[in-house]
Amino acid sequence: MDFSIPKDTQLMLDLIQEFMEKEVYPLEQNFLNEPPEVFQPRLDALREKVKQMGLWGPAQPKEYGGMELPLTDFALVSEILGTSPLGHYVFGTQAPDAGNIEILHKYGTPEQKERWLRPLVEGKIRSCFSMTEVEMPGSNPVYMETTAVKDGGDYVINGQKWYTTAADGAAFAIVMAVTNPDAPPYQRASMIIVPTDTPGFDLVRNINIMGHKGGGYFSHAEILYHSCRVPQSNLLGPEGAGFRIAQERLGPGRIHHTMRWLGVARRALDLMVSYAARRPIAPGQVLADKEIIQAWIAESAAEIQAARALTLQTAWRIEHLGWKETRQEISMIKFLVANTMQKVVDRALQVHGGLGMTDDTILAYFYRHERAARIYDGADEVHKVSLAKRILRPYREQMEAGRNRLR
């Protein structure tokens, strides 16, 4: 595995980093303090600048206007964009659109691609992904109540979803619904495209996340599908393949998430070090003189570097061997990186003291919104159990073979 960065790639990374520092970071205070409708034009202006620079859609298909970077290159880009909650959106590679683009590109019909994929890549519309349900366990994604029943040439969808990120203002949702209730568990659900102006698509509310409702792209919605009727031509991929497609979406998607989380951790470390180096605590002393602060800085730097190395190795394996051959590493990075980020953000907030609790820095936003990293995309505990079972399997098989020989 060669992790050296080609010169052209490094130049691109340097350009993106410079843009983030000069154009994106200064807007964070506006983002934290202005209503979404007031702030949105500022974001739109930055997006136009990114397009003019030729850096739009780093992970998106070239044929639709993106850069289509290899996964390992995009991982490095995602790390830089993740240093601000605005980064991925400004560069047109934000979740859930990025994942929806992947599956539309692979499974969409020509008509679906022209109607939904092209404007999505171009940034003219947004989308959302409706999977998690209020009363069903997110840790068991094949267990859901939302149904899509055939009626004539349509599907009629009924169910309740929540944590549908960015539904507020989205043009369409990709909905996971049970279409084959009598099939085996992993073949019951399908993905269906539902325009958000369809009768029966009811955005009930934007959910308050630790006291912040959000709006527009930066929100998480509860949605009621009440006799929501769409044509069967809106089926995305084969019927009953929803879970399999979701798994394909989550493999590379987890690289996007974990590298973004490492960007969050890196930004938190930078803020921690900068503040500790200048914050006076006594005449002639600053916070950075304290050994406990030095230990936190050292631990954070080492933990970020270790998590980053494993994540880049995982990206390389997905790119060269496929996601099925990389399942163990995909599980590892999910809980390792999420926990690393949480620890670093917590230390940075502690170093900032009362200032860290305010929105005068971006740390409180990270603390509020990124704690969920240990829950969404599969709870840490689920990934740990899954990983442990894979590690144990050959040992158990070996023991069973030994017992059989003795019989």
Q: Are 286 and 279 within 8 A, CB to CB?
A: yes
Considering the domain architecture, whether residues 199 and 217 belong to the same structural domain is answered as: yes
* Of 43, 76, 108, the domain-final residue: 108
The structural domain count of the chain equals 3
Considering the domain architecture, whether residues 249 and 392 belong to the same structural domain is answered as: yes
In a domain, 301, yes or no: yes
In a domain, 207, yes or no: yes
In a domain, 1, yes or no: no
Considering the domain architecture, whether residues 132 and 225 belong to the same structural domain is answered as: yes
Considering the domain architecture, whether residues 255 and 391 belong to the same structural domain is answered as: yes
Domain that includes residue 159, residue range: 127-236
Considering the domain architecture, whether residues 248 and 228 belong to the same structural domain is answered as: no
Nearest to 177 by CA among 222, 236, 221: 236
Q: What is the pLDDT along the chain (407 residues), one digit of tens a residue?
A: 556 788 999 999 999 999 999 999 999 999 999 998 899 999 999 999 999 999 999 999 999 999 999 999 999 999 999 999 999 999 999 999 999 999 999 999 999 999 999 999 999 999 999 999 988 877 677 789 999 999 999 999 999 999 999 999 999 999 999 999 999 989 999 999 999 999 999 999 999 988 888 899 999 999 999 999 999 999 999 999 999 998 877 767 788 889 999 999 999 999 999 999 999 999 999 999 999 999 999 999 999 999 999 999 999 999 899 888 898 999 999 999 999 999 999 999 999 999 999 999 999 999 999 998 888 877 889 889 999 999 999 999 888 888 888 76
CATH number of the structural domain spanning residue 45: 1.10.540.10
Considering the domain architecture, whether residues 272 and 348 belong to the same structural domain is answered as: yes
Predicted confidence at residue 2, as pLDDT, reads: 57
98 token code pair: 């990025």
For the chain, report the end-to-end CA distance as a whole number of angstroms.
45
Looking at residue 24, the DSSP 8-state letter turns out to be I
Considering the domain architecture, whether residues 217 and 268 belong to the same structural domain is answered as: no
Considering the domain architecture, whether residues 67 and 170 belong to the same structural domain is answered as: no
In a domain, 404, yes or no: no
**Residue 295 Cα distances to 171, 280, 285, 286, 344, angstroms:** 48, 18, 17, 15, 12
Considering the domain architecture, whether residues 176 and 212 belong to the same structural domain is answered as: yes
In a domain, 278, yes or no: yes
**Residue 366 Cα distances to 32, 156, 260, 369, angstroms:** 11, 39, 12, 5
Considering the domain architecture, whether residues 334 and 382 belong to the same structural domain is answered as: yes
In a domain, 121, yes or no: no
Q: What global pTM score does this model have? A: 0.92
Considering the domain architecture, whether residues 287 and 179 belong to the same structural domain is answered as: no
* Of 108, 140, 175, the domain-final residue: 108
Torsion angle of C-alpha atoms 5, 251, 391, 334, degrees rounded to 10: 80
In a domain, 64, yes or no: yes
SS3 category, 264? helix
382 token code pair: 């689920």
What single string gives the DSSP state of each residue in 54-94?
Answer: T-S-TTS-GGGT-----HHHHHHHHHHHTTSTTHHHHTT--
CATH number of the structural domain spanning residue 318: 1.20.140.10
CA angle, residues 302, 312, 392, in degrees to nearest 5 = 85
Q: 148 has which bridge partners?
A: 157
Considering the domain architecture, whether residues 392 and 333 belong to the same structural domain is answered as: yes
* Of 180, 201, 236, the domain-final residue: 236
In a domain, 114, yes or no: no
